[in-house]
């Protein structure tokens, strides 16, 4: 009964979305305030019905209702409650339902928070948002119904893929989806602006917080995913340039560009057409990401079950959304008036350069991800593109970007004095050189590129800090006064310092662990010791343990350095009983300077066990840096100016009107 | 100037149309399954090899000639006693071994013969023939890079399908058996 209720709720949500996508548009055209206001009500109704549907499916998972095909295929009665719930979105149908839920949530949020949006703009934004909803609700109901019943329900379910039974992965998809889907708001705003034929500072001020919210979640989601890969897959790696990773990374790169270019629209009324295009492309890449994971277009380690019929449906959906919006762009964008002029060396120029570099980086990832497909279509056979491609194309684009980050932060609007800026960065430059020498000394002249990279990341970190110090006149004014200035610093300024600093720290982690990782594989008998990078790992044997839905062997390692005890590591090798799928559970001892990482493999039949030990220098800096970036985004989002932006603009308009009169 | 400007603004649309053309092609091309990794061995004759029996096991070893001697389709499974996923797919092998219209051959890969023998005695021997390959000489020729692996070889000794990793739920019924059936009717 509850499943039928869920099915019914989905259909009601679709009807709400259909009316929401038509009536407000007509209202905005005819300036009919009742029709325009309908959009806000419909978006709330749509949200309530999607919540109801999602609740119904969650209930089916919690009580293990195996009369539902979806539950029977992806759950099991012995599964812990957390994974029963996360199992709701650990499959194609449920994850699409989550996608639609988040979309409806963002639509309703625009309706609720957008009280002082211009009414026509708001009506159009909600209508566009609803159109996306119509597409995906149709897709859900007609090709991916999560509420399909089984005529003969099985005794028990087939269990969730064991790799997904992990706390990190329970929260990774929802965060990623909030990121993907959050860009839909920027997209809807861009389309609405194209329809209205007007882009102004108020528009940018509205777009920024939504883009920022999406960006925060996407950053968090990607970081969580890479952290999961690091400790769950047992390879000691954190990024594999896998197509599915790439499709989450591309909207991130574009979204980062959008975040920066929206500032220029807001502050200087410039780069408008470009910002509109970025908003369309960012969400288009999110859509393509959702599509690629589900269509079976590319080979990947973590793709959903492939169904060609679904693939065609979602491809047509995407063609309408992306093709339609870009057609509108081609028709309407040339008429948009461009704003203030600026010299190449200025903050606008810096942000434009940032945009160009990020877009180029995104294009290289796009090319690398889809190159195998293009080659195959042209008859070149199957090829695979690995890290060497990205090392040669992506990194060279990112290097100048990282180098310029802290210079750009110093540049004033309109026109800047580059020599003056560089003079103020001289201490950061000297310190970066020093860091470079220290890295060279410690690593005995190790890989040159890694050492240069570390120097550059240090430059970025210290340059960012020095800009912050200059702003609050640290050491040049009394500390109390600096403190006062720091407190008065706007949230967006704090956010920038935190995000740029976090990026630099993450890069230091990435470079160090890539260049100086040490790994060793050996067969050890209990009592034997393996020495890796100066640390001793004594193998104390294995024992068999049993979890709720798996059995496992657990190895014990005593980790010590120069005879001083450091930690006990207990890696596991699990066999999930239902799916009969083995997984490795690495044991990691994390410290500030690096991780000690142990994996237990197979027995050799003579009392020995294959063990793999990794020493990963500074690897936790990657996720610490990402956390700082997320935190920076949150601080910036809390900036009062973003929230009360629209009224401020009204005052300006009033002044303009007065001046005109 | 104006026409040029129009072209520039239409450029994103044009690029998107081309990319979607590729997507459409890939989705509608019949028989395209990106999950099947290209293997150089598919549709090539099985390599030359001659593997000795596991001492103490009641089935003989086998060589390439045994793949083409009796007109049956052969399933060649690479297994080892130290390989936990092999144990996971073992019930599927037991099912497959009951059929007498195919050959089910096992290659005991990178294993001590006595360990391989003990493993088969403990878990049951589904294989009609088992060859031992402790030094992985045959394994290299077969292009083995993960254990277990399962090959389907037709009656002429040509490799027709390769599965890397354990057979998961549904792989036997969904993939392996249909391929065997289709080869038998050819």
* Chain B contact present for A574, CB below 8 A: no
Complex ipTM, two decimals? 0.79
Instruction: Please give the pLDDT value at position B31.
Output: 59
> Given an 8 Å threshold on Cβ–Cβ distance, is A326 in contact with B85?
no
pLDDT of residue A172: 87
**pLDDT tens digits for range A136-178:** 999 999 988 999 888 777 777 777 777 777 777 788 888 999 9
Task: Write out chain B residues lying below 8 Å of A602, CB-based.
Answer: 82-84
pLDDT for A11 equals 96
Give the SS3 label for residue B53.
coil
**What are the sequence ranges of the domains in chain B?**
1-32, 50-185
When CB atoms are compared, the residue of A323, A573, A605 closest to B16 is: A323
Which residue in chain A is spatially nearest to B18 when comparing CA positions? A374
Strands B159-164 and A535-546: unpaired
Q: Cα Rg for chain B, rounded, in angstroms?
A: 22
Of A306, A326, A606, the CB nearest to B12: A326
> pLDDT digit string (tens) for A418-454?
888 888 888 889 999 998 898 888 888 778 888 999 9
- Mutation target vs B (from A281, A303, A326; most B CBs, 10 A cutoff): A326
Q: Which of A104, A107, A114, A113 shows the shortest CA–CA distance to A49?
A: A104
Q: Residue A450: is it exposed, middle or buried by C-beta count within 10 angstroms (0-12/13-18/19+)?
A: middle
- Percent of chain B having pLDDT more than 90? 18
Chain B contact present for A602, CB below 8 A: yes
Dist. CA A209–CA A633, nearest whole Å? 10
Q: Say yes or no: A244 contacts chain B, CB-CB below 8 A.
A: no
Taking the Cβ of residue B4 and every Cβ of chain A, the question of whether any pair is shorter than 8 Å is answered with no
Q: Does B123 touch chain A (CB under 8 A)?
A: no
Give the pLDDT band of residue A641 (cuts 50, 70, 90): low
pLDDT for A307 equals: 63
**Would you state the pLDDT for residue B89?**
85
A42-56, A642-656, B170-184: which is most confident: A42-56
**For testing contact with chain B, the best of A143, A301, A330 (most B CBs within 10 A):** A330
| Beta pairing, strands B102-109 & B73-79 | parallel
3-class DSSP state of A650: helix
Q: Which of A158, A334, A581 sits opposite B5 (nearest CB)?
A: A334
Of A298, A330, A381, the CB nearest to B9: A330
The answer to whether B23 faces chain A, any CB pair under 8 Å, is: yes
Q: Which residues in B lie closer than 8 A to residue A383 (C-beta atoms)?
A: none
Q: Which positions in chain A touch B81 (Cβ < 8 Å)?
A: 605
Higher pLDDT, B112 or A659: B112
Q: CB of A373 within 8 A of CB of A387?
A: no
Q: How big is the CA angle at A401 (ends A397 and A403), to the nearest 5 degrees?
A: 120
CATH class as words, domain B50-185:
alpha beta
H/E stretch holding A546: strand A535-546
Mutate which of B3, B9, B83 to test chain A, going by most A C-beta atoms within 10 A? Answer: B9
pLDDT over 70 at A647, yes or no: no
Q: What is the pLDDT averaged over residues A46-73?
A: 93
B68 touches chain A (CB under 8 A): no
The Cα A430–Cα A174 span in angstroms is: 43
Task: Supply the DSSP string of A112-141, one letter for each residue.
Answer: HH-TTS-HHHHHHHHHHHHHHHHHHHHHHH
Cα torsion A501, A505, A506, A510: sign: positive
SS3 annotation, A168-230: HHHHHHHHHHHHHHHHHHHHHHHHHHHHHCCCCHHHHHHHHHHHHHHHHHHHHHHHHHHHHHH
Tens digits of residue pLDDT in A186-195: 999 999 999 9
**Does any CB of chain A come closer than 8 Å to the CB of residue B168?**
yes
Comparing B174 with B101, the larger pLDDT belongs to: B101
In this prediction, residues A505-531 reach a mean pLDDT of 90
pLDDT of the residue at A651: 44
Q: How far is A334 from B33, CA to CA, in rounded Å?
A: 42
Residue A418 forms contact with B (CB below 8 Å): no
How are beta strands B129-133 and B102-109 bridged, if at all?
parallel
What are the b/e assignments for B88-122, b being 16+ CB within 10 Å? bbbebbeebbeeeebbbbbbbbbbbbebbbebbee
H/E element holding B79? strand B73-79
- As a whole number, mean pLDDT of residues B167-182 equals 83
Share the mean pLDDT of chain B. 83
Q: Is the pLDDT of residue A349 over 80?
A: yes
CA-based nearest distance B47→chain A, Å:
23
Residue A557 Cα to chain centre, angstroms: 35
Helices (H), A411-477: 418-424, 426-442, 448-471
The closest alpha carbon to A15, from A101, A122, A141, belongs to: A141
Cβ count near B71 (within 10 Å): 8
Asked whether the CA dihedral B127, B128, B131, B136 is positive or negative, the reply is negative
Q: Which residue has the higher pLDDT, A298 or A652?
A: A298
Which SS3 state, helix, strand or coil, does residue A338 take?
coil
Average pLDDT of span A61-89: 88
Distance CA A261, CA B9 (A): 18
pLDDT band at A383; cut points 50, 70, 90: low
Q: Residue B12 and residue A327: Cβ atoms within 8 Å?
A: no
Any chain B CB within 8 A of the CB of A328?
no
CB contacts < 8 A (A, B): 94
* Residue A561 φ then ψ, to 5°: -130, 125
Residue B118 has φ and ψ, to the nearest 5°, of -60, -40
Q: Inspect the interface and report whether the beta carbons of B82 and A582 lie closer than 8 Å.
A: no
pLDDT score, position A551: 85
Tell me which residue in A299, A370, A376 faces B35 most closely, judged by beta carbons: A299
pLDDT value at residue A74: 82
A605 interface with B at CB cutoff 8 Å? yes
Between chains, do B84 and A602 touch, taking CB under 8 Å as contact?
A: yes
Residue A563 pLDDT exceeds 90: no
Exposure pattern of A248-280 as b/e (b: 16+ CB <10 Å)?
bbbbbbbbbbbbbbbbbbbbbbbbbbbbbbbbb
| Residue among B4, B12, B17, B21 nearest A194 (CA) | B12
User: Phi, psi at residue B94, to the nearest 5°?
Assistant: -60, -40
Q: Is A345 helix (H, G, I), strand (E, B) or coil?
A: coil
Asked if B84 lies within 8 A of A573 by C-beta distance, the reply is yes
For residue A385, pLDDT beyond 80: no
Write the pLDDT tens digit of every residue in A462-479: 999 998 988 888 888 888
Asked if B9's CB is within 8 angstroms of A333's CB, the reply is yes
Identify any residues that bridge with A17 across adjacent strands, giving them in sequence order: none
Question: Residues of B with CB below 8 A from A582's CB?
Answer: 84-85, 88
Q: Which residues in chain A (626-655) have CB-CB distances under 8 A to chain B?
A: none
pLDDT in tens, B70-101: 888 999 999 988 777 788 788 889 888 888 88
Instruction: Determine the Cα–Cα distance for residues A546 and A552; give it in Å rounded to an integer.
Output: 6
Cβ(B112)–Cβ(B134) below 8 Å = yes
What does the pLDDT look like over A91-115, one tens digit per residue? 888 999 999 999 999 999 999 988 8
* Residue B25 main-chain phi, psi, to 5 deg: -60, -45
Q: How confident is the model at residue A495, as a pLDDT?
A: 93
Question: So what's the pLDDT on residue A24?
Answer: 95
Question: Could you state, in order of their start, the residue ranges of all structural domains in chain A?
Answer: 2-393, 407-516, 518-620
Mutate to test the interface with A, among B14, B15, B23 (most CBs of A within 10 A): B23
**CB distance A499 to A468 below 8 Å:** no
Tell me what pLDDT residue A195 has. 94
Strand partners, B163: B150
Is B6 a residue whose pLDDT tops 90? Answer: no
- Least confident range from A292-296, A527-531, B25-29, B160-164: namely A292-296
* Residue A580 near residue B169, CB atoms below 8 Å: yes
Which has the higher per-residue pLDDT, A315 or A16? A16
**pLDDT at residue A13, as a whole number:** 97
- Say yes or no for a CB contact (<8 Å) between B27 and A318: no
Q: Which chain A residues in 378-397 lie under 8 Å from chain B, judged by CB atoms?
A: 381-382
Q: Is the pLDDT of residue A377 over 60?
A: yes
Measured between beta carbons, which residues in chain A are less than 8 angstroms from residue B9?
Answer: 273, 329-330, 333-334
Distance from CA of B152 to the nearest CA of A (A): 22
pLDDT of amino acid A228: 85
Locate the chain A residue with the closest alpha carbon to B9.
A330
Contact B146, B167 (CB under 8 A): no
Q: Which residue out of A72, A580, A599 would a mutagenesis test of the B interface target, given it has the greatest number of B Cβ atoms within 10 Å?
A: A580
Pick from A404, A398, A394, A400: which is nearest to A363 by CA?
A394
pLDDT of residue A649: 45
Q: What is the CA radius of gyration of chain A?
A: 27
Average pLDDT, chain A: 87
Can you list the alpha helix ranges (DSSP code H) found in A300-346? 308-318, 324-332
Rounded to a whole number of angstroms, the distance from the CA of A301 to the nearest CA of chain B is 9
Query: Percent of chain A at pLDDT above 90?
Result: 46
Q: Nearest CA of chain B to the CA of A282: how many Å?
A: 13
pLDDT higher than threshold 50 for residue A298: yes
């Amino acid at each position: 009964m509850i499943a039928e209720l869920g099915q019914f709720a989905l259909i009601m949500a679709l009807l709400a979305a259909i009316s929401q996508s038509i009536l407000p548009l007509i209202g905005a055209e005819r300036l009919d305030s009742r029709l325009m206001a309908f959009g806000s009500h419909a978006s709330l109704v749509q949200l309530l019905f999607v919540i109801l549907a999602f609740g119904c499916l969650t209930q089916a998972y919690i009580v293990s209702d195996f009369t539902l095909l979806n539950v029977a295929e992806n759950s099991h009665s012995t599964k812990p409650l957390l994974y029963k719930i996360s199992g709701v979105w650990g499959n194609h149908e449920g994850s699409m339902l989550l996608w639609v839920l988040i979309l409806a949530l963002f639509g309703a949020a625009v309706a609720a928070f957008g009280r002082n949006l211009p009414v026509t703009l708001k009506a159009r934004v909600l209508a566009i948002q609803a159109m996306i909803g119509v597409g995906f609700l149709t897709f859900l109901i007609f090709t991916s119904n999560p509420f399909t019943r089984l005529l003969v329900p099985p005794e028990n379910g087939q269990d969730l893929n064991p790799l997904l039974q992990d706390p990190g992965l329970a929260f990774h998809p929802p965060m990623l989806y909030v990121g993907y889907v959050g860009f839909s708001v920027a997209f809807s705003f861009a389309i609405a602006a194209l329809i209205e034929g007007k882009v102004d500072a108020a528009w940018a001020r509205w777009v920024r917080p939504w883009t920022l919210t999406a960006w925060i979640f996407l950053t968090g989601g990607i970081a969580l995913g890479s952290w999961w890969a690091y400790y769950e897959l047992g390879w000691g790696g954190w990024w594999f340039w896998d197509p599915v990773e790439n499709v989450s990374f591309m909207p991130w790169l574009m979204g980062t560009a959008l975040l920066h270019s929206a500032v220029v629209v807001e502050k200087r009324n410039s780069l408008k057409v470009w910002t509109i295009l970025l908003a369309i492309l960012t969400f288009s890449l999110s859509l393509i990401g959702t599509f690629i994971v589900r269509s079976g277009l590319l080979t990947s380690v973590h793709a959903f079950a492939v169904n060609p019929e679904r693939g065609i449906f979602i491809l047509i959906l995407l063609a309408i959304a992306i093709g339609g919006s870009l057609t509108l762009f081609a028709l309407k964008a040339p008429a948009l008036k461009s704003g203030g002029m600026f010299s190449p060396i200025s903050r606008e120029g810096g942000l434009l350069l940032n945009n160009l570099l990020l877009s180029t980086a995104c294009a290289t990832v796009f090319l690398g991800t889809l190159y195998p497909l293009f080659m195959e279509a042209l008859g070149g056979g199957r090829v695979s593109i690995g890290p060497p491609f990205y090392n040669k194309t992506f990194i060279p684009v990112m290097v100048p970007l990282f180098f310029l980050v802290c210079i750009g932060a110093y540049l004033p609007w309109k026109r800047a004095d580059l020599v003056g800026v560089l003079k103020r960065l001289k201490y950061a430059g000297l310190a970066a050189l020093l860091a470079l020498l220290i890295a060279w000394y410690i690593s005995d002249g190790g890989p040159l590129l890694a050492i240069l990279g570390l120097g550059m990341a240090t430059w970025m970190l210290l340059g960012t800090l020095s800009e912050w110090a200059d702003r609050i006149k640290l050491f040049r004014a009394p500390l109390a006064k600096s403190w006062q200035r720091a407190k008065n610093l706007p949230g967006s300024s704090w956010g920038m310092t935190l995000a740029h600093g976090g990026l630099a720290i993450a890069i230091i982690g990435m470079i160090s662990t890539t260049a100086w990782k040490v790994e060793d594989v050996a067969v050890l008998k209990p009592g034997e010791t393996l020495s890796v990078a100066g640390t001793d790992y004594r193998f104390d044997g294995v024992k068999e343990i049993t979890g709720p839905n798996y059995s496992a062997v657990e190895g014990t390692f005593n980790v010590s350095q120069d005879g001083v005890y450091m930690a006990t590591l207990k890696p596991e090798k699990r066999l999930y009983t239902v799916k009969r799928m083995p997984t490795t559970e690495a044991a990691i001892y994390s410290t500030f300077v690096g991780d000690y990482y142990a994996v237990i493999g197979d027995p050799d039949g003579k009392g020995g066990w294959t063990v793999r030990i990794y020493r990963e220098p500074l690897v936790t800096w990657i996720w610490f840096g990402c956390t700082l970036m997320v935190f920076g985004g949150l601080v910036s989002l809390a900036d009062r100016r973003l929230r009360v932006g629209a009224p401020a603009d009204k005052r300006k308009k009033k002044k303009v009107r007065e001046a005109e009169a | 100037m104006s026409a040029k400007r129009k072209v520039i603004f239409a450029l994103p649309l044009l690029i998107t149309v081309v990319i979607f053309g590729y997507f459409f092609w890939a989705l509608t091309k019949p028989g395209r399954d990106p999950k099947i990794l290209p293997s150089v061995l598919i549709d090539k004759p099985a390599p030359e090899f001659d593997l000795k029996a596991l001492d103490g096991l009641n089935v003989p070893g086998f060589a390439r000639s045994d793949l083409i001697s009796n007109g049956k389709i052969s399933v060649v499974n690479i297994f080892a006693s130290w390989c936990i996923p092999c144990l996971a797919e073992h019930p599927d092998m037991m099912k497959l071994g009951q059929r007498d219209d195919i050959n089910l051959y096992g290659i005991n890969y990178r294993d001590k013969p006595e360990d391989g023998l003990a493993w088969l005695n403990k878990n049951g021997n589904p294989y009609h023939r088992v060859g031992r390959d402790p030094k992985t000489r045959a394994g290299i020729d077969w292009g083995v890079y993960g254990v277990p692996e399962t090959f389907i070889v037709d009656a002429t000794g040509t490799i027709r399908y390769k599965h890397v990793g354990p057979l998961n739920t549904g792989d036997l019924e969904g993939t392996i058996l249909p391929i065997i059936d289709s080869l038998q009717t050819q």
